[in-house]
């Protein structure tokens, strides 16, 4: 019992010390933390401080700014800066940046859909792929991520992701997709085709069923039970009547 009480007192003291340290950090932030916050704020708000924030921010801050969301034109400047730095990164850092960009699906879904912004975000996604992802893929990096991201882009909202995939494929450069990603993309497209075919077949069956129901449906308002025939159905009925009359005449003539 005594041990439990001592343990509780010790935990309370440690919690109090942690809270005091946290308050001290908030009151007197270190210079790097304060600088990072100022850069992040400048990236988010834009304005005159935006160009300087772009130059001073590291890759992590730039990617975090894209994660937080920003207008497409401002995001374009961040993307251009990330791509501009590509030759300065070593393979390990380049792969890490590529992985983050792929996990974010080339930031194609960042922000609300708004027509012109969507077109600009698609262009940004292509810049990210060409400048950061394609070189990494050609070195053999991130094959698992590509196998997931490429079909996800194909199925993205508004068709913007599909346009990105088409333009990557249409370019004369190697896509970098790899066999597994190509297989996943083909499977996704084939499944979509099957769904469209099934929907078309269901619609055709429903249309045929409605046609037969209309063929045998009587009028509702005092029509004496007459059948409501369409013009084509009327000609079929007339033809059947003529054939019936002819059969009766043949029977009568044969009886004589």
pLDDT of residue 141: 79
Q: What is the pLDDT of residues 147-180, one digit of tens each?
A: 889 888 888 767 888 899 999 999 888 888 888 8
Question: Across the chain, what does the average pLDDT equal?
Answer: 75
Residue among 4, 6, 3, 26 nearest 14 (CA): 6
Q: Average of pLDDT values for 238-249?
A: 69
The pLDDT-based confidence of 44 (bands split at 50, 70, 90) is: confident
Residue 215 Cα to chain centre, angstroms: 45
Residue 214 reports pLDDT greater than 50: yes
pLDDT of residue 22: 45
The alpha carbon dihedral of 54, 58, 62, 65 has a sign of negative
pTM of the model: 0.62
**Is the model more confident about 151 or about 215?**
151
pLDDT of residue 218: 54
């Amino acid at each position: 019992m005594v041990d439990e009480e001592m343990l509780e007192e010790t935990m309370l003291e440690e919690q109090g010390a942690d809270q005091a340290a946290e308050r001290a950090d908030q009151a007197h932030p270190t210079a790097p933390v304060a600088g990072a916050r100022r850069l992040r704020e400048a990236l988010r708000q834009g304005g005159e401080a935006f160009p300087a924030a772009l130059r001073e921010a590291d890759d992590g801050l730039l990617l975090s700014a894209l994660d937080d969301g920003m207008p497409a034109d401002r995001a374009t400047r961040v993307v251009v800066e990330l791509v501009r730095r590509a030759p300065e990164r070593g393979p390990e850092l380049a792969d890490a940046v590529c992985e983050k960009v792929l996990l974010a699906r080339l930031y194609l879904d960042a922000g609300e859909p708004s027509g012109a912004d969507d077109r600009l975000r698609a262009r940004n996604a292509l810049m990210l792929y060409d400048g950061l992802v394609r070189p990494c893929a050609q070195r053999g990096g991130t094959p698992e991520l590509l196998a997931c991201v490429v079909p996800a882009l194909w199925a993205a909202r508004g068709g913007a992701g599909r346009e990105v995939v088409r333009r990557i494929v249409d370019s004369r450069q190697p896509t970098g997709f790899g066999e597994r990603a190509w297989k996943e993309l083909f499977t996704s497209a084939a499944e979509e085709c099957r769904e469209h075919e099934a929907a078309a077949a269901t619609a055709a069956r429903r249309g045929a069923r409605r046609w037969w129901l209309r063929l045998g449906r009587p009028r509702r308002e005092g029509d004496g039970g007459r059948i409501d025939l369409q013009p084509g159905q009327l000609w079929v009925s007339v033809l059947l009547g003529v054939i019936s009359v002819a059969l009766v005449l043949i029977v009568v003539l044969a009886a004589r």
